[in-house]
Amino acid sequence: MTSASASKKSTKNEISPIITINKLNKWYGKFHVLKDIDLEVNKTEKIVICGPSGSGKSTLIRCINRLEVHQEGSIIVDGTELTDDVKQINEIRSDVGMVFQHFNLFPHLTVLENCTLAPIWVRKKSKLEADEMAMELLTKVKIPDQAKKYPGQLSGGQQQRVAIARALCMQPRVMLFDEPTSALDPEMIKEVLETMIELAESGMTMLVVTHEMGFANKVADRVIFMDEGQIVEQNDPKNFFNNPKSDRTKLFLSQILNH
Amino acid sequence: MAHFFIREKKLSFFVEFPKMGRADLRDFKKGIDESFKDFTREYGEAIEHFFDPLLYFLVWLEKLFLNTPWPIIMVAIAVLVYFGSRSLKLTIGAVLAFLVIGYLDMWEDTMATLAIISVATIVCISVGIPIGILMARSNRAQTLITPILDVMQTIPSFVYLIPVVMLLGIGKVPGLLAVCIYAIPPIVRLTNLGIRLVDKDVMEASEAFGASYSQKLLGVQIPLALPNIFAGVNQTIMMALSMVVIASMIGVKGLGVPVLRAISNQYLALGVMNGLAIVVLAILFDRVSQKFGKRLQAHTESMK
Ligand SMILES: Nc1ncnc2c1ncn2[C@@H]1O[C@H](COP(=O)(O)OP(=O)(O)OP(=O)(O)O)[C@@H](O)[C@H]1O
Ligand SMILES: [Mg+2]
């Protein structure tokens, strides 16, 4: 079913999964957070994940770059399976960009240094090269003039855009977003969403945990609804919003759309 | 023995604490002393040589401080204080304080004290920070090292002077060791604490792009822990200064020597003057390093 719905959407792209998750199970102690998750993400596909608080959305996308360790099943990212091998983990992490709810910028570094740190460390770029690319990306997220400031001097929206630019500086093959706008004031949500929409249009593969249904409608190839650690329903946005199948999805949608 | 307790003097068990026999106890202590003496005879020289570089460095620094003409030292102090604190008031205060110290004929002792404090601080930093990092990295190391630090901070200094002197005799190196043993705990503790307090979210950001352990440590944890590490350095310097007098008892030159002389001869003025010189050094070190630490923290603070 997954591949069927995916192939419909990404007609112009070759259909090859960049992330393959198979029978993924994870427990926190006795608590079963993720239950038999199967998921394939194709190149350039945009997936929006939603669901009630505590349903395991964050845990799922954090498993993809092993910020969380899973106990059963397999996760294959770009042909490499996630195991305990630190080298492999770091290789996958360098190819997977992550944007956090609370930005998590390095407070002791300037905006520019935040962006160049990883390329210099991990990609072994020269400072000059890294600076050049960082400035280019900061221009793309529309804050090149803030490059010399420290994160603490920026607004939340600006910080999140820096965080996006920072992740893009690694030239990732996939971008993960964990509720990137939920810590922001309403007037700043828009500027971050615009940045994300542009990124989506550029062909990036994206997994986005968000409750911004406008964004999902506009950008997503597929919307996934999670509840109690399971993928309850997934569909293209039109069908997902207009005729949800499961009662749990209906309830959830009625709650967030009336909000 | 048992028979004696039970039948005849049942009560004496409660009245008198059951002691180890006097002869046994003497043998026990003697045994320890003897084996430590053996250890000293066997390894004392090797250990002394191990510390030779430290001795050369200390002697060299002392000579440098003493042989440099005083106006040059004064300028150096003014420059260091200014660049540490960026405060003109503090710089002028420091210069005045050193002028008074020199005028009251305490220049040479002050230079000797500065030399040993500098060397002790360098030793404490270069040993203490790695230990602190180790403690932050491993919980087991933390549970192992914390009680040792507790002992080092609470045991009366005279007690560890005994084995140090037995091992290395009287002189600069044992004095330096005594100072370091006393002064190193804060820097270890605050390095550990500082690293452990670094925001987990920020660490995660560096993990998420595949940074190696040493990159995370040097690029994120230590810079963010720097204000705490610096507070540790400050405390270490303060504690080293407070050991100056005790270190003088085992042959370290400096402001402690006249204080000791003053105690045994009841020279009130001499004691107070040299004591105050130590206080002045302490205040200067403290103010300068605190101002410096605050500057390190500047942009991190505007975050909150
Ligand atoms: N480190 C942890 N230890 C124990 N339980 C955890 C841990 N992290 C998360 N959980 C639990 O796992 C469940 C899923 O958490 P997760 O953060 O993935 O939810 P979420 O769907 O992202 O929710 P939210 O919308 O609130 O962010 C929650 O019930 C949470 O309490
Ligand atoms: Mg979450």
Chain B: closest CA distance from residue A153 (Å) = 7
Cβ-based contacts of B205 with chain A (< 8 Å):
98, 100, 104-106
pLDDT band at B223 (very low <50, low <70, confident <90, very high): very high
User: What is the model's pLDDT at position A7?
Assistant: 42
pLDDT band at B148 (very low <50, low <70, confident <90, very high): very high
Q: A207 by DSSP, 3-state: which?
A: strand
- Amino acid residing at B243: M
Q: A124 by DSSP, 3-state: which?
A: coil
> Residues A66, A82: contact at Cβ < 8 Å?
yes
User: Nearest Cβ partner of B208 from A65, A102, A151?
Assistant: A65
Q: A26 by DSSP, 3-state: which?
A: strand
Q: Which fold has domain B28-296?
A: MetI-like fold (1.10.3720)
> Residues A103, A159: contact at Cβ < 8 Å?
yes
Counting atoms of ligand 1 from 1, which one is nearest the CA of A31?
Answer: 5
pLDDT band at A259 (very low <50, low <70, confident <90, very high): low
CA neighbor of A181 nearest in space, from A237, A60, A99: A99
- CB A210 near ligand 1, within 6 Å: no
The whole-model pTM stands at 0.85
Identify which of A25, A37, A59 to mutate to test ligand 1's pocket (most ligand atoms within 8 A of the CB): A59
Test the A interface: residue of B209, B215, B221, B299 with most A CBs within 10 Å = B209
Longest distance between any two alpha carbons in chain B, whole Å: 83
Provide the mean pLDDT of chain A. Answer: 91
Residues B65-123 have pLDDT tens digits of: 999 999 999 999 999 999 999 999 999 999 999 999 999 999 999 999 999 999 999 99
> Per DSSP, what are the bridge partners of residue A224?
A49, A234
Total residues belonging to chain A: 259
Q: What does the DSSP assignment read for B148-197?
A: HHHHHHHS-HHHHHHHHHHHH-SSHHHHHHHHHHHHHHHHHHHHHHHHHH
Chain B: closest CA distance from residue A92 (Å) = 8
Cβ-based contacts of B300 with chain A (< 8 Å):
107-108, 152
- Amino acid residing at B186: P
Rg (CA), chain B: 24
CA neighbor of B299 nearest in space, from A163, A108, A160, A159: A108
A57-81 residues labelled b (16+ CB within 10 A) or e (exposed): bbbbbbbbbbbbebeebebbbbeee
Between the CA of A47 and the centroid of ligand 1 the distance, in Å, is 20
Burial of residue B248 (CB within 10 Å: 0-12, 13-18, 19+) is buried
Interchain pair A100, B220: CB under 8 A: no
Q: Return the structure tokens found at B217.
A: 């440590």
Interchain pair A117, B201: CB under 8 A: no
Chain B: closest CA distance from residue A105 (Å) = 6
CA distance B67 to A111: 48
Interface predicted TM-score (ipTM): 0.84
Query: B residues 191-250 near A, CB within 8 Å?
Result: 199, 201-202, 204-212, 215, 219-220, 223-224
Between the CA of B239 and the centroid of ligand 2 the distance, in Å, is 47
Q: Is the pLDDT reported for residue A89 higher than 90?
A: yes
